Amino acid sequence: MQQIATAVALAGLALVSGLSLLPAEATAQRVSSTRVEVRHDGNIHYPQFSPDGTQIAYEVNYPAEKRTDLWVVGWRGRSIDGEAMKLVPESMASSSRYGGGKRITHGFSWAGTGKHAYAYSVSDATGAQAIYVDGWSDMVAFGNSANKNPDWDPNEARFVFSSGRTGNGDLYLWDSGDPLQMTYDEANAELYPTFNNSGDKVVYVKQGKAGSHVYMQDAPFGDPQALVKYDGKESTRPSFSPDGSKVAFFSNKATDSVTRFGLWVTDARPGSTPRNIAPNVHLPSKGAASWTPDGRAVVAVKDDPNAGDPVCIFPVDGGAAQCLDLGTRNNRDPELQLIDGSWRLVYTAQDKVSESKATWREMYVADLPR
Contact 312, 320 (CB under 8 A): no
Q: What is the DSSP secondary-structure string of 159-195? A: EEEEETTSTT-EEEEESSSSPEE----SSSEEEEEEE
User: What's the confidence (pLDDT) of residue 82?
Assistant: 97
User: What's the confidence (pLDDT) of residue 14?
Assistant: 38
Q: Report the distance separating Cα 308 and Cα 35, nearest Å.
A: 17
User: What's the confidence (pLDDT) of residue 88?
Assistant: 85
Exposure on the CB side of residue 98, measured as CA atoms within 13 A:
27
User: What's the confidence (pLDDT) of residue 25?
Assistant: 63
Q: Give the predicted TM-score (pTM) of the model.
A: 0.90
Give the residue among 168, 194, 172 at the shortest CA–CA distance from 182: 172
User: Which residues are CB-contacts of 361 (< 8 A; sequence separation ≥ 6)?
Assistant: 43, 44, 45, 330, 332, 348, 349, 350
User: What's the confidence (pLDDT) of residue 102?
Assistant: 61
Contact 246, 239 (CB under 8 A): no
Question: Which strands make up the sheet holding 328-339, listed edge to edge?
Answer: 34-35, 362-368, 342-352, 328-339
CATH number at residue 41: 2.120.10.30
What is the DSSP code (8-state) at residue 256? S
User: What is the length of the chain?
Assistant: 370
Give the residue among 180, 177, 161 at the shortest CA–CA distance from 169: 161
In order of 234, 259, 320, 322, the CA distances from 262 in angstroms are 11, 10, 16, 16
* Residue 255 lies in domain: 2-368
Residues of the chain with pLDDT under 70: 1-26, 90-102, 369-370
Contact 185, 170 (CB under 8 A): yes
In order of 126, 208, 321, the CA distances from 185 in angstroms are 25, 10, 39
Q: How many domains does the chain have?
A: 1
